[in-house]
A and B are shown apart, each in its own frame.
Chain A
Amino acid sequence: MKLEIDNLTVTYRNNGHNLLALDRIDLTLERGRITALVGESGSGKTTLGRTLMGLLPDNSESSGCIKLDENEILGLDEEGLNEIRWSKVAMVFQNQAANFNPAHRIIDQVAEPLIQRRNMKKDDARQSAGDALKRMGLLNHQAIRFPHELSGGEIQRSMLAMALIMEPELLILDEPTSALDAMTKAFVADVIDKVRQRGSSVLLITHDLDLAQKLSDDIAVLYLGRIMETMPAGELFLNPMHPYTLALGRSYPGVQVLRDLGGIRGEAFYRITHQHPQTGEKAMFHNHIIGPGSFHEDRHVPPAGCLFQPRCTQADGDCLLKNVSMINVGDHQVRCLRGGIVNRIELKGVSKRYGQVVALDCTNLDLRAGEVFCVVGETGSGKSTLAMIASGVLLPDSGLRFFDSIDMDEWRKKDYKSLAGRIGVVYQNPSQSVSHRLSVLDIVAEPLRIQGIGGDRKETFERVKKALADVRLPSEQEFLRRYPHELNLGAIQRVCIARALISEPSLLVADEPTSFLDPSVQAKVLKLLMELQTEKGLTMIFVTHDIGLARKIADRVGVMLAGKMVEIGPSSLVLGSPLHPYTSLLIKSAGGNGGGMVQMNAEPAKGGCSFAPRCTLADRACFWQLPPQVCLDGSYHSAACFRPQVTDNECFMENKPCLSGAAPACCN
């Protein structure tokens, strides 16, 4: 069974201002595959499911076509629909209890489709229903109960049994696990997987990204009725290509995800279509998003631009004006004018020496827009050097730097001030990073004055006040006139954050911004930083030696050792199942127990892995040869090591060029 949805648009009529629920959806459900549909509430997931079942309410209008094995099913009458319902297409609804008739026993209701559609005898049908329920783990004595006598999980499983009883070729599941505990969820997931193996196609509508990622083959991401991205399921967390997918993944408390919830800035509204009140040639139907700022003076905006633009971390002028079509990026399809998430900063083979000391040894790093990247490592491993090179202020000895795909060094030469305005930096020691001779106002306004973008005095003043309000500091005259020594460290660090953000940068480099603060102040400053990160859509480089902290905030982690990045990948993988022994040692030592492996004065190996003298797994090669790149998890997690700690040898790929990471071939 193959289901093709082509150009499907669904609107709900509402007094001339029609709600646009689905907008030109193209989606194909292949036989034996599970397609997951994810997105925020109100994105039209459920409407899509109901459309497939022909269950739209009377005030809806739909256009386009839905073909079930070449047969058009959109717009079929009740009779035609009844033929396919239950037998070919079955749906498990959200809010299951309400979908059972409270006056009948469960087993009778499950048997009903058999009796109605297959004209089975009542006893045979009940027999089959009993078997079906048993397969769902419901015993006979449970099966004869009334719906209100069953728990939520049991109801859910009964609903599944009912949907599967006719062995439909297409199963639509609307939030099948939202009310279930973890055990029941796993059981239901198994059942769904069996349905797939039987050759049916499954449309899984869910908020549960973990389930979507584990269970499905493909994922489609829906936003305000449009599909923003389709991708292979495994890439949902590892390699989202649309900014919305990234933000969605960050809002979900996945079991693998270590970092704190991020959320998506702004709010999703809904879209309406309506006709212009003018008559004649100006009359036109169009749709737009309801939300603050979405109207012009006659309260109408013609449709243009990307739907996600107001909340996007990488939107530019084009995103507001141009229409977006789906483009192929790798095995993803992305509806993004910028071709998916762009690289905010790219470092290619940058290195830096201080005399004889190699602070940074030919390091590559790609940072995607809106990402929080943590650099961890022991002291002197080149963390800060890397961050300062990325911030533009430090010149690398060799290598290339790109900011938004523009060569940073050329930009720097041409117009350093405009580059500086795009990058904010927060330093380690708050009291030293402000001049004690300047008042709060002068400190925060300094970047504006340097870059000459503050406008007149009054505008500068207003911007400073806004920046201070952003970091939750008072913005009264009295506070603006204060000097740093009258503030506590936490407040000074906030002033520094305000200073870093006042020129509205898109990259924030934070060099151990909380290491001078006590834990309670640190918690406040960190929370603030992460809030600002979400709100302003900042890309962040966060340098820290604190693994615990990196866990809480990082999307990706890079581990530095002696000027090289020896391991890089999503924080859940790097910190959860490290490849490099050095990373394991760092994690172990962060807990205060290095397991006797910590040596402070080991002589670094010449020509080999710098960690070899301290490594318990090291063999001869480690001392004399540069370690190879090993990549895991679709090469999103990589390390430079001869003896990576891999348990599963099958997913081990040696010497494959990784996306970004440790010592590349270009450096000798």
Chain B
Amino acid sequence: MHISFRHELGRDPWFITGIGLGLVLLLLAGLGPVFSPYDPHDISFRPLSPPSADHWLGVNDGGMDIFSELLFGMRNTAGFGILAGFTALFLGVAVGLAAAWFGGFTDQIAMRLADVVLAVPSVMILIMAASLFRPSPVMLAVILSIISWPTTAKAIRSQALVVKNRLHIHAARQAGASGIYILARHLLPELFPLYLIGFAAKARMAMFMEASLAFLGLLDPARKSLGIIISFALKYYYMDIWWNWLLPPVILLSLLTMTVTFLVISLEKVFDPRLKEAL
């Protein structure tokens, strides 16, 4: 029951931690340009200077303020994750609902397509796409969502099949409801928990993926990203400045993924009773 869901979430420590962290990080990312003391592309500082009152996390080898870099990098990484998550969710819901609603041939096609896409290793595709076509980050997010929708679609489809055959939908149909009415008023709202879970899982994956690609140097090195920062920091690993240059982006990236993981765990726990017993 939806009311007790809200209640239950409010008492779940996973959820509280996740949402707390998430709010802080989102605030940092969203208001990064306001907080950041310097322009991250400004190279006018003394390279490799240690942390000081002026530069909280020091300056990198190119003479840029690391703290400012971090804020902008996180903004890009999180933005990439959110965009990819939304697109993947949209695709997954569209395909999954269509498969469940029309059934039969449509269902067969959609699900076999999902199997095919699932079988393809997504990292490889991304690396290839990024290195061959040099797409913009937005394009890359879309490509990522194109190869990551199947799990969402499958979850949506199976749940939609269950809900579709519920008596109350039967009753609405008997009362003369059109397909659009049933979709909009009964089916879509009923699947709400799945959207949360699907979105969070995909966003987490996308953020990590973006960092990895940037780390591998497959993205524009001038674009600030947690992966890029880590990648450059690693080059000066021997200089004993890892704690102010390498550690912060790693921690931030971990926190980002942890936030989303916590949220997913708590949402699944509350909305999916089978998982509740397993955890």
Do the two chains belong together in a single complex? yes
Cα distance A428–B170 in the bound complex, in angstroms: 12
Question: Which of B175-183, B239-247, B271-279 lies at the interface with chain A?
Answer: B175-183
Q: Mark A444-456, 1 if CB is under 8 A from B, else 0.
A: 0011001100000
Asked if A646 lies at the interface with its beta carbon under 8 angstroms from chain B, I say: no
Determine whether the beta carbon of A435 is less than 8 Å from that of B168. Answer: yes
Is A310 part of the binding interface, using a Cβ–Cβ cutoff of 8 Å?
A: no
Q: Does B170 contact A450, Cβ atoms closer than 8 Å?
A: no
How many whole Å from A459's CB to the nearest CB in chain B? 18
Q: Which residue in B166, B176, B181 is a CB contact (below 8 Å) of A421?
A: B176
Report if A437-B174 is in contact (Cβ < 8 Å); known contacts: A432-B166, A432-B168: no
- Binary contact track A102-118/B, C-beta < 8 Å → 1, others 0: 00000000000000000
Known: A416-B176, A483-B3, A503-B175. A427 touches B170 (CB 8 A): yes
How many residues of chain B get a CB closer than 8 Å to chain A's CBs?
18
Residue of B nearest to A392 (CB): B174
A499-B171 contact in complex given A416-B176, A417-B176, A437-B190, C-beta closer than 8 Å: yes
Bound CA–CA A348/B171 (angstroms): 25
A485 cross-chain contacts in B, Cβ below 8 A: 1
Contact with A along B156-176 (1 / 0, CB 8 A): 000000000011101111111
Residue of B nearest to A448 (CB): B175
User: Does B55 count as interface, using CB distance less than 8 angstroms?
Assistant: no
> What residues of chain B lie closer than 8 Å to A503, measured between beta carbons?
175
Minimal beta-carbon separation of A428 from chain B (angstroms)? 8
Q: Are A437 and B189 in contact (CB under 8 A)?
A: yes
A450 touches B172 (CB 8 A): yes
A130–B105 CA distance with the chains assembled, in angstroms: 93
User: Are B174 and A446 touching (Cβ within 8 A)?
Assistant: no
**Complex CA–CA separation, A423 to B174 (angstroms):** 9
Report the number of A-B residue pairs with Cβ-Cβ less than 8 Å: 58
Q: Is the CB of A451 within 8 A of B175?
A: yes
A342 interfacial contact with B, CB 8 Å: no
- B residues less than 8 Å from A437 (CB atoms): 2, 189-190
Pick from B177, B181, B186, B190 the residue with the most CB of A within 10 Å. B177
Q: In the docked arrangement, what's the CA distance between A391 and B174, Å?
A: 8
Per-residue contact bits, chain B 136-167, to A (CB 8 Å; 1 contact, 0 not): 00000000000000000000000000000011
**Residues A427 and B1 in contact in the complex (CB < 8 Å), given A420-B175, A446-B172, A450-B175:** no
Does A56 have its Cβ within 8 Å of any Cβ on chain B?
A: no
Distance in angstroms between the alpha carbons of A446 and B177 in the assembled complex: 9
Residues of B near A420 (CB, < 8 A) are 174-176
Q: Is A434 an interface residue (CB 8 A)?
A: yes
Chain A contacts with B in 421-435, Cβ cutoff 8 A: 421, 423, 425, 427-429, 432-435
Contact across chains for B174 and A435 when beta carbons are under 8 A apart: no
CB-CB contacts below 8 Å: B52-86 with A? none
The tally of residues in A whose CB lies under 8 Å from a CB in B reads 29
Compute how far the CA of A450 lies from the CA of B173 in the bound complex, rounded to whole angstroms: 9
- Judged by a CB distance under 8 angstroms, whether A211 is at the interface is no
Contact of A447 among B2, B166, B175 (CB under 8 A): B175
Residues of B within 8 A of A416 (CB): 176
Chain A CB within 10 A, most for which of B168, B177, B189: B168
A435: contacting residue among B3, B173, B175, B186, CB under 8 A: B186
With A417-B176, A433-B171 given, is the CB distance from A450 to B1 under 8 Å?
Answer: no
Residue-wise interface mask of A (372-408) relative to B, using a CB-CB cutoff of 8 A (1 in contact, 0 not): 0000000000000000000111000000000000000
B181 CB to closest chain A CB (Å) equals 6
Q: Do the beta carbons of B171 and A450 come within 8 Å of each other?
A: no
| Chain B minimum-CB-distance residue to A430 | B167
The distance in angstroms between the C-alpha atoms of A3 and B176, with both chains bound, is 57
Is B175 within 8 A of A446, CB to CB? yes
Write the A493-537 contact mask toward B (1 if CB under 8 angstroms, else 0): 000100100010000000000000000000000000000000000
Q: Which residues of A contact B189 (CB under 8 A)?
A: 437
B176 and A451 contact, CB distance less than 8 A: yes
Asked whether, in the complex, the Cβ of B168 is within 8 Å of the Cβ of A433, the reply is yes
* Contact partners of A499 in chain B: CB under 8 A: 171
B28 CB → nearest A CB, Å: 36
CB-defined contacts of B173 to chain A, threshold 8 Å: 393
Do the beta carbons of B186 and A393 come within 8 Å of each other? Answer: no
Residues of B within 8 A of A418 (CB): 176
**Interface check A145, CB cutoff 8 A:** no
Instruction: State which residues 549-585 of A face B: CB under 8 Å.
Output: none
Contacts of B172 in A (CB 8 A): 446, 450
A1 at the interface (CB under 8 A from B): no
Check: A436 CB closer than 8 A to any chain B CB: yes
- Contacting residues, chain B, for A180 (C-beta < 8 A): none
In the complex, how many angstroms separate the beta carbon of A629 from the nearest chain B beta carbon? 33
Closest A residue to B165 using CB positions: A432
> Which residues of chain A come closer than 8 Å to B1, judged between CB atoms?
436, 483, 485
Q: How many angstroms between the C-alpha atoms of A382 and B215 in the bound complex? A: 64
Q: Does A25 contact B (CB under 8 A)?
A: no
Residues of A contacting B186 in the complex (Cβ-Cβ under 8 angstroms): 435
Q: Min CB distance, B160 to chain A, in Å?
A: 14
Interface residues in A472-503 by Cβ distance below 8 A to B read 483, 485, 496, 499, 503
Q: How far is the CA of A374 from the CA of B2 in the complex (A)?
A: 38
For A446, list chain B residues within 8 Å (CB): 171-172, 175
Can you list 17 contacts pairing A with B, beta carbon distance less than 8 Å? A391-B174, A420-B175, A428-B167, A433-B170, A433-B171, A434-B168, A436-B2, A437-B189, A446-B172, A450-B175, A450-B176, A450-B177, A451-B175, A451-B176, A483-B1, A496-B171, A503-B175
Instruction: Contacts A428-B167, A434-B168, A437-B2 known; list 7 others, CB within 8 Å.
Output: A417-B176, A418-B176, A421-B176, A427-B171, A432-B167, A433-B170, A447-B176
Q: Which residues of A contact B (CB under 8 A)?
A: 391-393, 416-421, 423, 425, 427-429, 432-437, 446-447, 450-451, 483, 485, 496, 499, 503
A-B pairs, 8 with minimum CB distance:
A420-B176, A433-B167, A417-B176, A447-B175, A393-B174, A432-B167, A435-B168, A450-B177
